[in-house]
Structures are given as C-alpha cells and as structure tokens.
C-alpha cells in the first residue's frame, strides 16, 4: 500500500498529546465524580428518526449501512450520535424503571458531525457531559450548580482562564412576549445570530421572521446588550420597561445562578443576555463558555435546561446539562503550541541489559519495581550502554537501572543529572515528581 494520509476533520493526537488529553479527561472525570455524578456510556448509534427530531442538525448526521446490506436502510436505519444529550434523553426514557431520580450522570465520549472542518471544529470529537434529570419536575437550583462543577473541572488545569456566559430562555421569551411579539422562538433564533451577522442584520431578521416593529427590534437588541458579572443585570432589564411573569421567573433564576457562582468562584460566570443557543430544546438557563485568548473560536463548553427532551407518553423528565468540548479545547491549545508533557512515555525507569542472556534477570527487577507502582521497561536490546541510555533519553525516561552481578550491587542513574546510586528493586523509589509524566 502507499503511505496513508490524514482525513480532514478526524484529528489524531500523537502519544504525548494523547497523554495530555488523558490528563485533562481524568481531571474532568474526577471532578464530576466528586460532585456525585455516576458514569454512563451510550452506544455510538441512534435510530435515524431519533436523531432527526432536532431538525436543524439533520444535515450533519452520518448514516450507517452494512457493506453487504441492500438499499439505503429503511425505518430502522442507524446514524452516529452528534451529541450526548439526545442519546442520554433516549436512555433515560428507555431505562426509567431502573434509574433513581433525580439522576446525575456524566458521559465522556466521541460524537460525530458531517460538518465542514475548520480550526476548532471537527467531524469526530470528544465531549464531556454532565446532566441532571428528574421525574416530572426539576428544581432550578441545579441550574446554579452546574457552572461550579465546570469551574472546578477546568480551573485546576494548566489552561487559560474560562468564563461561563449564562442567560435564561425565560428572560428572553418573557421579554419578547411582554414586548408583544407573538413568535418568541423566531426572535430567539434571530438574536442567536448576533455575533455572526451583527445588529443591523439581526434587526432586519427580527422584522422579517418575528414580525418585529422597529421599536420592538430595538428593545430586543437592547436586551441582548446587557452583560454583568453580578445580579445588576436584572435592574438593567427592568429599566427597559417590559413586564411579564415569565420574565420575572427567568430573572430570579438567573440571579440565583450568578450569585451562587460569584460566591464559589468570583469571575467565573457572567450574565450575558445575548446568549441564546441555537437548539430548540432549551427552556431555562443556557450556558456558553469562552476561554481567554480564544474567544473568536466560540464556546468550549455549552448547555442548558431542557424540559421536554426526554418525554414519552405521560413520562416526562426535565433536565439540565452542560458539555465540555474536549477536542475543541485541546485542538485550539495544541494549535497554539500550548500544553506540554514531561516525557513521551509513561516509563519512569529503563532496565539496561548487560547481555541478552540476562533478559529474565532484568525482567525480575522490572517486575519488582512495577509491583511498587513504578512504570518500568526493559531495554529492547543488549546494545552498548550508551545506546541504551539514548533510548531512555529520546523518550524522556528519567532513570536507567544497571543490573549488578558477581558481587556488584544494582545501581540506578538519573540520566538528567548523571547522579548514580546503588539500589535494590524492592526499596528504591524515584522522586515523587518523576513517577508519572507531568503536564504543563
């Protein structure tokens, strides 16, 4: 065969980058577990009709066909999931009888979208989601809890600071309704385009698709301009002179989100009333997240409350969730040359080989070190010691172990400093910071 080439939109990291990714995922996962979220994985495929419920994204779906199968597949055609929320909602409905509600779960998996690839946007990428669903009703306090978890998960990583922008659909819809607009959904979709097309075109769109007068469009845009990192946004909204019970409910919920976050982690959250999220299924708080210095690439962590996604017959499971775009986050940072790891392998110690006949002796030393949790490899060959040391050097392995024999003890060398000491495999311990690769 000829030398293979990459496929656009399907990123693959080299091992050092994958080590960084694992470190990041591990941090996210352990934070989710500290907050009591249980793990879940759903299958990669969903019935096509399930995936198409969300309308707008239909064009991005990858459909599956078995190679030997005839025809394009009928009612039971399967597609790859494009997010983890739709599969989760389906899982909850399917397994409601076996789950305990409120149900807190996290899910860290690849998703696929047939979009045109560009920087920070992929066809295959890793998402890390948390969601809380309950039966029939879901208290609003969970909407205030999620940003704290994201702040903790990402705050402990060597990445630029993040800021979570929050809004509430009830604020927008209540405001639009209070203004006299009859199609708040259309207004929301127009406002969602503000960053992309600017206020003038949004005003035109509001007139065209939501039937807004000039004054109404102006008020919608004024609302979208409000942005505060404390609860004062509520006063700013009230100054616009619109009143509606749904608006009041949304403002109270949003105040709770912003105040809870301010107490937990000052600067983490900002109320930003232009945040709409394109997806139709959100009904309360919505989240987007910007990483400092990478704002132009869009949100790296988004979500919101959805009251009607997991509904079948009389079963109804309102939920709230948020999703970290792990691949987007890392793709941007790798692209900028940020993030590094102290070595390209997990190995802490290389056992040098005085002669090929001594491979089993070397294996016993390695075994003793591994039993004590020290990642160890045996040298690939009994080449000259200089060559064996270079094997370690090129991979960043910090220590080389020299088996003794004939009365000489074993010794271990820190090949960075050149320090060499006598050692026994059941007692020697590396410096704590050398045990595992360190991500910076």
- Residue 80: exposure state from Cβ atoms within 10 A (0-12, 13-18, ≥19): buried
Is residue 113 marked as binding? Answer: yes
Nearer to its own copies, 62 or 222 (CB): 62
The owner of tokens 């989240």 is 287
Nearer to its own copies, 96 or 240 (CB): 96
Residue 396 — left, alpha, or beta (φ > 0 → left; ψ -120 to 50 → alpha)? left
For the CB of residue 360, give the shortest distance to its own copies in the complex, in Å.
Answer: 7
For the CB of residue 328, give the shortest distance to its own copies in the complex, in Å.
Answer: 16
H/E stretch holding 94: helix 85-95
Nearer to its own copies, 41 or 208 (CB): 41
* Residue 327 token pair: 């691949």
For the CB of residue 225, give the shortest distance to its own copies in the complex, in Å.
Answer: 30
Q: Which of 388, 299, 311, 391 is nearest to 343 (CA)?
A: 391
- How many other CB atoms are found less than 10 A from the CB of residue 388? 21
For the CB of residue 20, give the shortest distance to its own copies in the complex, in Å.
Answer: 10
For the CB of residue 118, give the shortest distance to its own copies in the complex, in Å.
Answer: 17
Is residue 83 marked as binding? Answer: yes
For the CB of residue 243, give the shortest distance to its own copies in the complex, in Å.
Answer: 26
Is residue 131 marked as binding? Answer: yes
Dihedrals phi, psi of 185, to nearest 5 degrees: -60, -45
Nearer to its own copies, 79 or 250 (CB): 79
In angstroms, the CA 318 to CA 178 distance is: 25
Sheet bearing 349-351, strands edge to edge: 376-378, 349-351, 399-402, 411-414, 420-422
* Residue 179 token pair: 């203004």
* Residue 435 token pair: 């045990």
Nearer to its own copies, 12 or 406 (CB): 12
For the CB of residue 282, give the shortest distance to its own copies in the complex, in Å.
Answer: 18
Nearer to its own copies, 13 or 385 (CB): 13
- How many other CB atoms are found less than 10 A from the CB of residue 424? 12
Is residue 282 marked as binding? Answer: yes
Is residue 277 marked as binding? Answer: yes
Is residue 127 marked as binding? Answer: yes
Pairing of strands 269-272, 162-168: parallel
* Residue 279 token pair: 């997806």
In angstroms, the CA 119 to CA 424 distance is: 51
| CA angle, residues 211, 212, 213, in degrees to nearest 5 | 120
Is residue 85 marked as binding? Answer: yes
* Residue 313 token pair: 């017959």
For the CB of residue 283, give the shortest distance to its own copies in the complex, in Å.
Answer: 17
Is residue 399 marked as binding? Answer: no
Nearer to its own copies, 43 or 416 (CB): 43
DSSP state of 193: T
Nearer to its own copies, 101 or 244 (CB): 101
In angstroms, the CA 99 to CA 10 distance is: 35
Q: Which residue ranges are tagged as binding site?
A: 83-85, 113, 127, 131, 277, 281-282
Annotated binding residues for L-histidine: 83-85, 113, 127, 131, 277, 281-282
């Amino acid at each position: 065969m000829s030398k293979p080439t990459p496929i656009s939109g399907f990123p693959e990291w080299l091992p050092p980058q994958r080590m960084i990714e694992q470190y990041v995922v591990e941090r996210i996962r352990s934070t989710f577990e500290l907050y009591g979220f249980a793990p879940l994985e759903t299958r990669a495929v969903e019935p096509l009709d399930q995936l198409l419920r969300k309308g707008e994204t239909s064009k991005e779906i990858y459909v599956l066909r078995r190679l030997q199968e005839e025809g394009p597949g009928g009612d039971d055609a399967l597609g790859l999931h494009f997010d983890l929320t739709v599969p989760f909602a389906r899982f909850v409905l399917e397994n409601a009888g076996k789950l305990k509600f409120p149900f807190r779960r996290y899910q860290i998996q690849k998703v696929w979208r047939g979009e045109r690839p560009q920087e920070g946007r992929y066809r295959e990428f890793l998402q890390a989601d948390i969601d809380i669903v309950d039966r029939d009703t879901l208290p609003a306090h969970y909407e205030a809890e999620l940003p704290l978890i994201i702040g903790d998960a990402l705050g402990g990583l060597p990445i630029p600071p993040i800021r979570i922008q929050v809004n509430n659909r009830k604020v927008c819809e209540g405001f639009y309704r209070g203004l006299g607009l009859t199609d708040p959904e259309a207004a929301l979709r127009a406002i969602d385009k503000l960053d992309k097309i600017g206020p003038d075109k949004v005003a035109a769109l509001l007139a065209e698709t939501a039937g807004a007068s000039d004054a109404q469009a102006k008020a919608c845009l004024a609302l979208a301009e409000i942005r505060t990192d404390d609860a004062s946004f509520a006063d700013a909204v009230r100054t616009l002179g619109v009143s509606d019970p749904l608006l009041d409910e949304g403002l109270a919920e949003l105040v709770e989100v912003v105040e809870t976050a301010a107490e937990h982690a000052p600067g983490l959250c900002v109320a930003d009333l232009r945040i709409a999220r394109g997806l139709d299924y959100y009904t309360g708080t919505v989240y987007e997240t910007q990483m400092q210095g990478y704002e132009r690439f869009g949100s790296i962590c988004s979500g919101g409350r959805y009251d009607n996604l997991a509904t079948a017959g009389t079963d109804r499971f309102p939920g709230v969730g948020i999703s970290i775009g792990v691949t987007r986050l890392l793709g941007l940072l790798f692209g900028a040359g940020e993030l590094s790891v102290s070595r390209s392998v997990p190995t802490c110690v290389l056992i040098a080989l005085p002669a090929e006949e001594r491979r089993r002796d070397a294996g016993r030393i390695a075994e003793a070190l591994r039993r004590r949790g020290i990642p160890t490899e045996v040298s690939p060959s009994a080449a000259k010691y200089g060559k064996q040391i270079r094997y370690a050097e090129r991979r960043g392995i910090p220590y080389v172990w020299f088996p003794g024999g004939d009365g000489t003890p074993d010794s271990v060398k820190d090949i960075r400093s050149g320090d060499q000491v006598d050692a026994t495999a059941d007692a020697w311990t590396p410096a704590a910071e050398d045990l595992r690769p360190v991500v910076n």
